[in-house]
């Protein structure tokens, strides 16, 4: 999510300039209030700060303690980091006297430092403890969850969050293995999945979808996203923009549907005597949909699945319709 990394794990920010450009922070908005809902290693936040005015404020959110440690190195009175999910932004900022903001950026998924650190348990490529928590101070680890969950729920999670067609076979294999020994490492789980998946997608490890599914479930990523989008919309001032970068279809579908719900309005029966000025108006307008360039993907293959959607909150009342055109 960012290009500023902990020393041992480098990371490139996906759509760095494009995301900050999308927030349109120039002019009067340069001294506004902004949210980086997924601080990561600070790439977007640092670029935003370089473009914002002296009177601006930027609040970063992250659940990851390493991200919080990185944020502590930013010596800028305009910036503050909050150790929590972006789904809590309204409550967290109301406590700091902020009710409305001029722009919000959400860069979803996990960062390269999280993936590359075997101790975090996010990846099957290097053996490590099966943790997968973004916030290691809260909740159950993946290993703890795998040890107690029912076969039916394991199948449901792997199928729904991983879009894995062999979810039944994988869940059955997990239950069979845990009866023999605890499943505590990423290599163990990857091996179990590999033995259960009968056909493999070209160029993709058979464990990819299962690891994604468990990570999403353990961190409640889709639930946080749905709640966070509603929180973000409620905080946007008229004319303020929200940019969301997603990395898989489950995330992107939620974002797309949320924006669509704010852009489209149900029109009443045309036979009813309603003045044009009283017709329902859209609440947001779509500004952009963007993917990384071929050049960016060549430099950073992990960017290939990224999609950024940008929408702007419209003012209430009759002028909203004019602004949506």
Q: Which two tokens stand for residue 99?
A: 């009710």
The top-scoring range by mean pLDDT among 122-126, 196-200, 305-309 is: 305-309
Q: Which residues pair with 243 in a beta bridge?
A: 105, 310
Per-residue confidence (pLDDT) for residue 154, from 0 to 100: 98
Per-residue confidence (pLDDT) for residue 110, from 0 to 100: 85
Q: What is the pLDDT of residues 226-285, one digit of tens each?
A: 999 999 999 999 999 999 999 999 999 999 999 999 998 766 556 666 655 556 689 999
Domains and CATH numbers, the chain: 16-112+221-324 (3.40.50.150), 136-218 (1.10.150.170)
Q: Is residue 311's pLDDT more than 60?
A: yes
Q: Is residue 14's pLDDT more than 60?
A: yes
Q: What is the pLDDT of residues 30-83, one digit of tens each?
A: 999 999 999 999 999 999 999 999 999 999 999 999 999 999 999 999 999 999
Tell me the whole-structure pTM to 2 decimals.
0.89
Per-residue confidence (pLDDT) for residue 261, from 0 to 100: 95
Binding residues: 42-44, 62, 86, 107, 114
Binding residues for S-adenosyl-L-methionine: 42-44, 62, 86, 107, 114
């Amino acid at each position: 999510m960012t290009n500023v990394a902990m020393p041992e794990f480098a990371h490139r920010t996906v759509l760095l300039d494009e995301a900050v450009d999308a927030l349109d922070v120039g002019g009067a908005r340069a001294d506004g209030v902004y949210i980086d809902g997924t601080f990561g290693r600070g790439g977007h936040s640092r670029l935003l700060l370089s473009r914002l005015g002296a009177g601006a404020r930027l609040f970063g959110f992250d659940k990851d303690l390493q991200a919080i440690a990185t944020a502590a190195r930013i010596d800028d009175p305009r910036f503050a980091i909050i150790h929590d999910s972006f789904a809590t932004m309204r409550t967290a900022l109301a406590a700091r006297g902020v009710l409305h903001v001029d722009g919000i950026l959400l860069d979803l998924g996990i960062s390269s430092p999280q993936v590359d650190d075997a101790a975090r348990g996010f990846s099957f490529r290097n053996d490590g403890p099966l943790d997968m928590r973004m916030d290691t101070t809260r909740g159950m680890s993946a290993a703890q969850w795998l040890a107690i969950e029912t076969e039916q729920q394991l199948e449901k999670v792997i199928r729904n969050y991983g879009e894995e067609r062999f979810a039944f076979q994988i869940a059955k294999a997990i239950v069979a293995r845990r009866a023999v020994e605890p499943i505590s490492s990423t290599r163990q789980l990857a091996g179990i999945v590999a033995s259960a998946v009968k056909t493999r997608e070209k160029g993709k490890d058979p464990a990819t979808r299962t690891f994604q599914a468990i990570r999403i479930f353990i961190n409640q990523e889709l639930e946080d996203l749905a709640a966070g989008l509603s929180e973000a919309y409620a905080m946007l001032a008229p004319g303020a923009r929200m940019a969301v970068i997603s990395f898989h279809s489950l995330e992107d579908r939620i974002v797309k549907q949320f924006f669509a719900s704010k852009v489209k309005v149900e029109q009443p029966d045309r036979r009813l005597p309603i003045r044009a000025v009283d017709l329902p108006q859209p609440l947001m307008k779509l500004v952009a949909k963007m993917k990384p360039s071929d050049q960016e993907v060549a430099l950073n293959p992990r960017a290939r699945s990224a999609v950024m959607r940008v929408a702007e909150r419209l003012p209430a009342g009759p002028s909203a319709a004019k602004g949506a055109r």
